[in-house]
Every structure is written in structure tokens, then in C-alpha cells.
């Protein structure tokens, strides 16, 4: 192959011309140099201040940490500068509180990892029949479960099997973990539930001084050993309700009430006690395996919202759902009475203005995790100011006379309607 050789003469340096500088005005030149330096420093300082200064208004608060936390499952939006502090000072204070809270919550509710000095769920499961002092966050969570006589926390061995089910990549794999397809698994669940529904076999006892004891009978301990599981308690899909409430309580206790905290799986705490801002929540409906917004719920002021649904809608939902090829879905909403995944309606929204997310959840769970949808139970809850919304035949039913619904969805030229149920 022929090559063209480049002329090497251009590699020699070209002659340098010497230019004489005028030294007539040395002082003026010094002043100009100092002035230019001053301008540069001022510009840099302005840029730095502008970079560090936060604009007032709504923003998403991000956790500032490289440690593992539950921040990825949450969204915290706040109206900076609406209080007594500047937007910059407020963001700094809120970010510090939020960061500490999401790290702490992650550690406390973890069932598979231990952390130095933290008596979390993992630690409690490893120390049955021992008195353990726990953080007030966990103590309150256990107290609420006991108060509502909800035994879903004891289904930890069952949840392990559902974890395996939700991790399947193909329908053929699910038969190994699904009690509806596998009689061996169904029998195994029945054996476990004979213990989990027996307070003499397992019970979380609340003691004085934030101490608890996970009381487990010798028979159940032997059964667990024989079947190779170590976890006796787990908040599982319910944990984000407790976490959202915890973070909200931290913010309120420190005077930060101009915001809203929500989790990807449908738990929302609006902290706004001022009421100047209008908020919106999308009501979803499922029809013929299609999911779409049926309408928009508008609200002001502090409120707790719980949205339960039988279908996945976002990237994190794989943790608690498995969708079969025929469109049917298995969820993590497990009935403590038999260990089966259940939902009485495709989606149910329940909310209250003077209660926490956890209280709303524990009130509505028996209605949603059931074989049949009982609207009379919803009306009973409404008498205690726990209101609900659900969809049926392209109609949005609600039992809160003050509810504002807008943007009713128009599908195939058939518009959604809304109906207030008083009965």
C-alpha cells in the first residue's frame, strides 16, 4: 500500500517575534490587575452562594447518605420557605432529620441483617423468649398490632414462601411455592398457621420500659428447627405504613408540617396543618386487565391515605406481586386465618384526617383481605371517620359527604360517574 509522507519541515519552531512592553504606567496596571482579581473572587463567591442557596417552594427532599436506607421506597415533598426559616436553612434541617430517619427505619424493620447496637426484627427473631429493650418506634408498632388483634406479623414463615413465588420468572416455577397449585405447600401452611394463630404458641408480650418478649413455645421452636426457618415475626408488606408514620411524626415533632410523605406501595401522610395548598390523589381502576385513572381525589390539610390494590403499577411492585400469563395476580395480602393471598376488590382507598396510616391500614385490612367484599363494614368505618373509595362498573363509590372528586375518566366515550353511598 502506498503512503503519503507528510512534509517534516513543519515540525521546526517558527521564528519568535519579541514585543516590548510599555512600562510607562506601572501603578495603573497594578490597580487593574487587583481589580480584575477582585472581580474574579466576587464572581466565584456569588456562584458559590447561588449554588448553596435553595429556592423557596415545593421540592423533593432527598436523603443525604451512602448508607443503606429505605429512601428509595419513599417520596418526601416539602414546601420550603413557608415557615419561619429560610428555604436554605429549612432544607438543611429537614434533610438531616429525614436522612437519619430513613436509615433508622431501614435498620429497625430489617429481618435478615443485624446492625451494631440495634435490636431490630432480625435480633428479636434470633432471641425468642428473652426480654429485649427495643426502640420506641418498634414498641409502638408492636403495640398497635396487639391493640387491633392483628396476627399478620406472625406469618413470617409463610411470607418466605411468597417471597419465593414473587421471585419466579415463569409460571412453571410458581407451582413450587403456591398453595393453590401445590397441596404440599398448602399442608405446610396449615401446619404453620396452627402455631401462628395460637397465642400460647407465639405471642409478642409488651413489658415496661420499652421492653418486649417474643414468647415462642418449645413445640413451635422444634417445628421451626425441623423445617429450617428462623423468622417468627415480620411486618412484610405492612412495614412502609409504620415507616411513613414514623418519619411523619419526626417532622411534626420538629415543627416541619408543610409537606407530604408517601411510599411507592400506597401509604401517604400529608402533614399540612395550614391548609392553603390543594393536593390530589389518583383513583385507579382495573377493567379487563387494563389499569387506568378513574378520577382524582382533591383534599387539603393533614390526612392519612392507604391505597390497597390487587395489581402492580410500578417498578418496585415485583416484591409483592406475581402476574401469571392469564392475567391473574398473586399478591402479598395474606389472610392470617389460612395463609392464602386474597383481595375482596381490585382496589380500595381508605383515609382519615385524625389517624395515622397504620391505624387506617389496620382498620381496613379485614375488609380488603377477605373472600367477599362487605360494603357494610366500610359504612361502619365511616361512622368513625375512616372513609373509603372503590370502583365498580365504571362508578366511583365513596362514603365521605365532603369528598371532592374531579377529572372523571372518559373511556370509549363512556364517562365515569361518582356515587355517594350513605347506607
Domain end residue (candidates: 187, 211, 234): 234
Q: Which pLDDT score, from 0 to 100, does residue 415 have? A: 84
Residues 256 and 381 placed together within one structural domain of the fold: yes
The mean pLDDT of 277-284, rounded to a whole number, is 94
The mean pLDDT of 375-401, rounded to a whole number, is 96
Residues 193 and 293 placed together within one structural domain of the fold: no
Least confident of 45-59, 355-369, 383-397: 45-59
Q: Residue 139: which domain range?
A: 116-234
Residue 317 lies in a domain: no
User: What is the spatial distance between Cα 116 and Cα 107, in angstroms, rounded to a whole number?
Assistant: 10
Task: Annotate 379-410 with DSSP letters as a single string.
Answer: HHHHHTT-EEEEEETTEEEE--TT-EEE---E
**What is Dmax (Cα atoms) for the chain?**
102
C-alpha cell, 13: 519552531
Look at residue 139 and give its three-state secondary structure.
Answer: helix
Residues 360 and 286 placed together within one structural domain of the fold: yes
Query: Is pLDDT at 76 greater than 70 in this prediction?
Result: yes
Query: Is pLDDT at 48 greater than 50 in this prediction?
Result: no
Q: How many domains would you assign to the chain? A: 2
Q: Are 259 and 79 in contact (CB under 8 A)?
A: yes
**CA-based radius of gyration for the chain:** 30
Q: Are 109 and 69 in contact (CB under 8 A)?
A: no
Query: Is pLDDT at 89 greater than 70 in this prediction?
Result: yes
Residues 199 and 271 placed together within one structural domain of the fold: no
Residues 176 and 273 placed together within one structural domain of the fold: no
pLDDT digits 0-9 by tens, 203-255:
999 999 999 999 999 999 999 999 999 999 999 999 999 999 999 999 999 99
Residues 191 and 100 placed together within one structural domain of the fold: no
Q: Are 284 and 293 in contact (CB under 8 A)?
A: yes
Residue 34 lies in a domain: no
Residue 194 lies in a domain: yes
How open is the CA angle 143-111-212, to the nearest 5 degrees?
Answer: 30
> Exposed, middle or buried by CB within 10 Å (0-12, 13-18, 19+), for 326?
exposed
pLDDT higher at 33 or 63? 63
C-alpha cell, 381: 368505618
Residue 301 lies in a domain: yes
Task: List the beta strands (DSSP E) in 230-346.
Answer: 259-263, 267-270, 279-287, 290-299, 303-309, 321-323, 329-331
Domain end residue (candidates: 234, 262, 297): 234
pLDDT higher at 261 or 421? 261
Q: Pick from 308, 243, 281: which is nearest to 73 by CA?
A: 243
Task: Report H helices in 153-280.
Answer: 156-166, 171-174, 183-196, 218-227, 239-253
Mutual angle of helices 218-227 and 183-196, in 10-degree steps:
150
Contacts 24+ apart (CB under 8 A), 41-47: none
Q: Are 194 and 149 in contact (CB under 8 A)?
A: no
pTM metric for this prediction = 0.87
Q: Which pLDDT score, from 0 to 100, does residue 40 have? A: 57
Q: What single DSSP character describes residue 344? A: S
Amino acid at each position: 500500500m502506498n503512503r503519503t509522507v507528510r512534509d517534516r519541515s513543519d515540525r521546526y519552531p517558527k521564528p519568535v517575534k519579541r514585543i516590548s512592553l510599555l512600562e510607562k504606567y506601572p501603578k495603573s496596571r497594578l490597580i487593574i490587575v487587583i481589580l480584575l482579581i477582585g472581580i474574579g473572587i466576587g464572581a466565584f463567591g456569588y456562584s458559590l452562594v447561588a449554588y448553596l442557596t435553595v429556592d423557596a417552594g415545593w421540592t423533593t427532599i432527598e436523603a443525604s447518605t451512602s448508607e443503606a436506607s429505605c429512601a428509595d421506597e419513599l417520596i418526601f415533598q416539602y414546601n420550603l420557605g413557608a415557615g419561619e426559616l429560610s428555604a436554605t436553612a429549612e432544607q438543611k434541617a429537614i434533610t438531616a432529620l429525614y436522612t437519619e430517619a430513613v436509615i433508622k427505619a431501614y435498620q429497625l424493620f430489617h429481618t435478615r441483617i443485624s446492625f451494631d447496637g440495634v435490636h431490630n426484627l432480625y435480633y428479636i427473631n434470633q432471641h425468642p423468649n428473652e426480654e429485649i429493650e427495643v426502640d420506641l418506634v418498634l414498641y409502638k408498632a408492636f403495640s398497635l398490632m396487639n391493640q387491633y388483634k392483628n396476627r399478620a406479623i406472625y406469618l413470617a414463615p409463610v411470607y418466605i414462601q411468597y417471597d419465593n413465588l414473587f421471585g419466579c420468572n415463569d409460571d412453571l416455577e410458581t407451582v413450587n411455592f403456591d398453595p393453590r397449585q401445590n397441596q404440599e405447600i398448602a399442608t405446610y401452611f396449615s401446619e404453620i398457621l396452627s402455631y401462628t394463630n395460637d397465642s400460647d404458641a407465639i405471642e409478642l408480650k409488651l413489658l415496661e420500659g420499652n421492653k418486649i418478649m417474643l414468647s415462642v413455645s418449645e413445640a413451635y421452636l422444634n417445628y421451626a428447627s425441623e423445617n429450617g426457618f428462623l423468622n417468627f415475626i415480620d411486618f412484610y408488606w405492612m412495614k412502609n405504613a409504620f415507616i411513613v408514620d414514623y418519619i411523619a411524626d419526626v417532622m411534626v415533632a420538629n415543627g416541619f408540617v408543610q409537606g407530604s410523605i408517601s411510599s411507592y406501595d400506597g401509604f401517604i401522610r400529608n402533614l399540612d396543618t395550614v391548609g392553603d395548598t390543594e393536593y390530589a390523589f389518583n383513583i385507579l381502576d382495573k377493567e379487563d386487565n387494563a389499569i387506568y385513572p378513574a378520577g382524582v381525589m382533591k383534599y387539603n390539610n393533614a390526612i392519612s391515605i392507604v391505597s390497597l390494590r390487587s395489581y402492580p403499577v410500578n417498578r418496585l411492585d415485583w416484591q409483592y406481586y406475581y402476574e401469571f400469563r392469564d392475567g391473574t395476580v398473586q399478591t402479598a395480602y395474606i389472610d392470617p386465618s389460612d395463609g392464602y393471598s386474597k383481595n375482596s376488590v381490585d382496589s380500595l382507598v381508605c383515609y382519615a384526617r385524625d389517624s395515622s396510616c397504620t391505624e387506617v391500614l389496620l382498620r381496613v385490612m379485614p375488609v380488603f383481605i377477605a373472600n367477599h367484599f362487605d360494603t357494610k363494614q366500610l359504612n361502619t368505618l365511616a361512622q368513625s371517620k375512616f372513609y373509603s373509595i372503590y370502583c365498580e362498573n365504571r362508578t366511583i363509590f365513596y362514603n365521605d359527604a365532603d369528598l371532592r372528586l374531579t377529572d372523571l375518566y372518559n373511556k370509549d366515550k363512556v364517562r365515569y360517574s361518582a356515587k355517594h353511598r350513605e347506607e
